[in-house]
Structure 1
Amino acid sequence: MLKQFLLVSAICFATQTSAKLDTLPEEFSDFSLDRDITISYDDLDMLLDMTVIDLGRSDRRFRKSKANIGTRMRAHKNNDTALEANRFFYEEVTTSKLKEGFHKVRVSLEKVPDQVPLNALVLDEQLAYWLNLYTTALLEKLIEHYPVIDTQELLFGEQSILDEEFIHVAGYQLSLNDIQHNIVFKKFGKNKPIVMYGFHQGNIGSPNLRKEAYKGSEVYHQLVENGEEFVNSNRGMQVRGNNKLYLSLYYKQVEALFDDYENQLKNHIEDYTEGDLKNSVELADNFQLSIDDWGINDLYRTERTFGASTATNRAALLNAVASASGDVGVGAVNSSYISDAFMERTVEFGRFPPEVWEKLKQLNTKRKENRGSVKIKDLDANQE
């Protein structure tokens, strides 16, 4: 009969400085089989629920270039993608104390390894942790730089926010690209390329920003939802002419997830395509990466409407969505929904459910005694 034991060996935590991530360290590469330890994201759930507008699945409609009577709209070159993707209340968040909430949550998430080593978590919990840390840190940076209309230079220019090493986890100095490419893609992506849909980039043309945090028990279901939404939208995939397949430029960023990139990516798109386009996708001989929309996914600047109750298209209704959802949108500007007490509770001890604390105490006691990292080994009961 086999019995699991937690064996502890050396761990070093940073004090004042952090090391750069050159290779995937043991703290990030190992994992546990013990599902008793789960991380709570109640604070991030609350923030995202208040600041993200869910526009639902794409109906593949194109926005008309001419607005209805009484309505003027900001020009948008991507009329095929302008009505898609969830929106974020950048306009309201950047002028309220809510922006501090994203910073506090990011700092709180950075402290998780001080309470429990990441390799004491099962893989699903680890993946949810990295995706939530990435999302929170990205939004924090975008809020810092807002207003911005086109995100391409901000993301991929000489001073890219994706390369900025401002995240500190378990003694390592990380960038957003480190989390995406050097941790998640390397550790999870080869077996499950669906992880690509967990990396929203602040623009309409990227995978969706969810209205909730990722959860360890649901993370792959959430990623599949993101994948289905993205592939079946104009910004993810289009078929034109004689079964000519066009895909998002975002798929160029995930090339490392596929050994046989062109064939495997096309198979992936075929698997996720729904409805009438499925047969056309299957018949396409190849694809072209050409779809993009770098416009920031804010609520007003991309799709601003002015005094038009007669407007009927989906973009023109964005203002109505904001007005009708005071509890989760504009009404959140006073930031009273997230009290300082709640934020402090999360930073200090609210990241783990109460029933987990006794286990964490025991784990941390062993870690201090042995100064080690956690590994899982199966030992025969006779070896006790």
Structure 2
Amino acid sequence: MTTPFRRSHLQTLSIALGASVLALAAPAAAQSAAATDAGFETFVPSNSPNSDKIDYSIWDEAMKNLVVSMGPSLRQGAGRPDPSFGSRRQYGHVSRYRLEGTRVMFSFLNTEVIGSFTEYRKDLEATADKVDIQALSRNEQLAYWINLHNVALIEQIANAWPVRQPREIEIGGVPLDDAKFITVEGIAMSPRDIRTKIVYTHWQNPKVIYGFWRGDIGGPSIQREAFNADNVSRLLDRGARDFVNSLRGTEKAGSKLQVSKVYEEAAPYFFANFETDLRAHLAEFADEDVSKILSETTRTEATITEYDIADLAGGVREPTYQNITSDGVSTRFRIPQSMARLLAQREQKFQKILREGRTGTVTFTNITLPDEGENDGEVE
């Protein structure tokens, strides 16, 4: 894959904003559902995998420059911000979950960069004509499907931006998540098809849920790395811990455990007994706070949603901009007031984490930090 991302543009943005093998067997219900989808049976993984690999270094570089981490959830909803200066209109993000997860810098992308996303998505599709995807190792296959899904989402959202909610986007009159604009081995498929008819059907470990980015704040975070066979288990673990322990993933309402509607889609494949199976899964990744919620609640409901776009600008072009500073020095790089406010709140959050001595993985700027104590192994 040789599609050239326009690196100089992405690196400028980065500097300016810098202030395992998963088991084959699936639940019988999921396998039965998949059998009714003509063509998708071709994507059953081979029982005799080869050692071929796919290079995602281009996408890895893009992710490191395009994605901003908001850090781990403090399980404290953010209050509604004041209107932008000089206006009664509210620009930018107002969601109580706006300081959780990760954000993609759609508002800074030019036509050239957006075109590269389409080229790269087509490159990934064409890879399946040159490489026997089903004969790759299971981790290699999983990385392929996750990356293709996420590239396709970023491509289409970038094309449609500005847009407040990705679910508003339609392709040929069909909502983005169900639009069959991706073609692999001659089979037209949607982002939802990749999740449910391929990955959820043929991988039994629910960790795979956390690889798929939906474009909105309410879903799992997009990682600042491309997935590959060597890191897929580690990144899924990271995504699971982030989401399970966030407000957009789990919350207590009296005696009820409220969870994201993301789990509702995954239930037929991983949580046949929704109450028991989901709680066991959540307990695997829960920290002290969420473990306490699990013990204090008796009923589970999939009710949490947040459909606002997971970008920095809130899906709108704000008319008022201001210069940003680095180490107290003003730069020529100008961003909307609402974005400056969001980044200031992000910095305040990180300072609070430091003051309170909280532990965990925290990304303070768009730089790459080595992971310690994490080892990618086989996940049965």
TM-score by length of 2: 0.70
Q: Which amino acid aligns with 2:266?
A: V
Q: SS of the residue aligned with 1:315?
A: helix
Flag the structure with more relative contact order, 1 or 2, with Cα contacts below 8 A and sequence separation at least 6.
1
Query: Does 2:68 align with 1:41?
Result: no
| 1:179 equivalent among 172, 183, 194 | 194
Q: Measure the CA separation in 2 of the matches of 1:181 and 1:228.
A: 22
Q: Which residue of 2 aligns with 1:74?
A: 91
Query: Does 2:97 align with 1:85?
Result: no
Query: Does 2:250 align with 1:237?
Result: yes
Q: Quick check: 1:31–1:121 contact (8 Å CA) kept in 2?
A: no
Q: Which residue of 2 aligns with 1:203?
A: 216
Q: Measure the CA separation in 1 of the matches of 2:188 and 2:305.
A: 31
Measured after TM superposition, the shift of residue 179 of structure 1 is 0.9
Query: Does 2:76 align with 1:61?
Result: yes
Q: Measure the CA separation in 2 of the matches of 1:70 and 1:135.
A: 35
Q: Measure the CA separation in 1 of the matches of 2:184 and 2:92.
A: 42
Q: Quick check: 1:52–1:87 contact (8 Å CA) kept in 2?
A: yes
Q: Which residue of 2 aligns with 1:159?
A: 174
Q: Measure the CA separation in 2 of the matches of 1:65 and 1:210.
A: 27
Q: Deviations over 1:108-131 (max 9, x none)?
A: 111112222112211110010011
- Give the RMSD, CA atoms, in angstroms: 3.5
Q: Quick check: 1:28–1:118 contact (8 Å CA) kept in 2?
A: no
Measured after TM superposition, the shift of residue 66 of structure 1 is 4.5
Query: Does 2:236 align with 1:219?
Result: no
Q: Which residue of 2 aligns with 1:299?
A: 312
- Is there any run of 5+ residues in structure 1 with no aligned partner, and where? 1-19, 329-384
Q: Measure the CA separation in 1 of the matches of 2:183 and 2:120.
A: 13
Q: Which amino acid aligns with 2:217?
A: I
- Identify if the C-alpha distance between structure 1 residues 199 and 71 changes in structure 2 by more than 3 Å, giving closer, same or farther: farther
- Is there any run of 5+ residues in structure 2 with no aligned partner, and where? 1-35, 326-336, 349-363, 369-380
- Identify if the C-alpha distance between structure 1 residues 69 and 260 changes in structure 2 by more than 3 Å, giving closer, same or farther: closer
Query: Does 2:38 align with 1:22?
Result: yes
Q: Which residue of 2 aligns with 1:269?
A: 282
Q: Quick check: 1:27–1:117 contact (8 Å CA) kept in 2?
A: no
Q: SS of the residue aligned with 2:99?
A: coil
Q: Which residue of 2 aligns with 1:381?
A: none
| 1:103 equivalent among 104, 118, 122 | 118
Looking at CA atoms only, which structure, 1 or 2, has the larger radius of gyration? 1
Q: SS of the residue aligned with 2:178?
A: coil
Q: What percent of counterpart residues are identical?
A: 27
Q: Measure the CA separation in 1 of the matches of 2:233 and 2:75.
A: 25
Q: Measure the CA separation in 2 of the matches of 1:123 and 1:262.
A: 29
Measured after TM superposition, the shift of residue 220 of structure 1 is 1.7
- Identify if the C-alpha distance between structure 1 residues 274 and 156 changes in structure 2 by more than 3 Å, giving closer, same or farther: farther
- Identify if the C-alpha distance between structure 1 residues 70 and 153 changes in structure 2 by more than 3 Å, giving closer, same or farther: closer
Q: Measure the CA separation in 1 of the matches of 2:73 and 2:234.
A: 19
Q: Which amino acid aligns with 1:234?
A: L
Q: Measure the CA separation in 2 of the matches of 1:193 and 1:182.
A: 14
Q: Measure the CA separation in 2 of the matches of 1:249 and 1:27.
A: 27
| 2:138 equivalent among 92, 116, 123 | 123
Measured after TM superposition, the shift of residue 78 of structure 1 is 3.2
- Identify if the C-alpha distance between structure 1 residues 185 and 82 changes in structure 2 by more than 3 Å, giving closer, same or farther: same
Query: Does 2:259 align with 1:247?
Result: yes
- Identify if the C-alpha distance between structure 1 residues 315 and 61 changes in structure 2 by more than 3 Å, giving closer, same or farther: farther
Q: Which residue of 1 aligns with 2:330?
A: none
Q: Deviations over 1:180-216 (max 9, x none)?
A: 111111111xx21111111111000011111111111
